[in-house]
Amino acid sequence: MSRLTTTASQTVGPFFKIALLRADAECQRLVSAETLGERIRIEGHVIDGDGLPIPDAMIEIWQANAAGRYRHPADERDVPLDPAFIGFGRCGSDAEGRYWFETIRPGRVPFNDRQLQAAHICVAVFARGMLNHACSRLYFADDPATATDPLLELIPVERRATLLAAPHPGADQQVYHFDIILQGAGETVFFNL
């Protein structure tokens, strides 16, 4: 006679580097010489609730092109589609929790028939122990349109800074720093999608 037991609990991952990430930086560079728009670099750290770096997280981004159009069948607007820009990237964090992407500053996209959203990049974070990924947005701290973004207006004022990437001049392109804090003090605002 067999004896029934419960299954031991397990955390999710870390398997991202093995299963979902390329060995080269191909997925981190969303731009080529033909891509239209202002080149930017996004860099930052993924940090846990104790303030420690997460060395094996996976970060995905997706965004509109410089004209404000997504490369997606649902975006049928009469806005130019850049054949040299897919708008999706994926990166693993390193031993210090660092990640980076080379991309373009996205154009603004509609919120509804009357309002545009501020330029933003959608962010998803996958990490060990998380049964579901966490979704957020990266806005640009130097963009005046963030003051009237309809989604940002729904976020409590004291939490909005967690969605703003800080500009830092780079040698070849503008660099934006955006730390992703999964919980605790300064936790990044995440959206329940």
User: Any idea where the domains of the chain sit in the sequence?
Assistant: 30-181
Q: What percent of the chain has pLDDT over 70?
A: 86
pLDDT confidence bin for 9, thresholds 50/70/90: very low
If you average pLDDT over residues 131-158, what whole number do you get? 94
As a whole number, mean pLDDT of residues 159-167 equals 97
3-state secondary structure of 66: coil
What is the pLDDT of the chain when averaged over all its residues?
88
Structure tokens at 70: 């997504």
pLDDT in tens, 95-117: 999 999 999 999 999 999 899 99
- Cβ-Cβ contacts under 8 Å for 117 (sequence gap 6 or more): 108, 109, 110, 111, 149, 150, 151
Residue 17: is its pLDDT beyond 90?
no
Q: What is the rounded average pLDDT of the residues 6-21?
A: 51
CA 8 to chain CA mean position, Å: 33
Q: 30-181, what's its fold?
A: Protocatechuate 3,4-Dioxygenase, subunit A (2.60.130)
The whole-number pLDDT of residue 25 equals: 58
**Pick the residue with more confidence: 93 or 15?**
93
Query: Predicted confidence band at 193 (pLDDT cuts at 50, 70, 90)?
Result: low
Which pLDDT score, from 0 to 100, does residue 175 have? 96
Q: How confident is the model at residue 172 (pLDDT cuts 50, 70, 90)?
A: confident
Bridge partner list, 18: none
pLDDT band at 121 (very low <50, low <70, confident <90, very high): very high
d(CA 109, CA 129): 34
Higher pLDDT, 4 or 123: 123
Query: How far, in Å, CA of 89 to CA of 191, rounded?
Result: 20
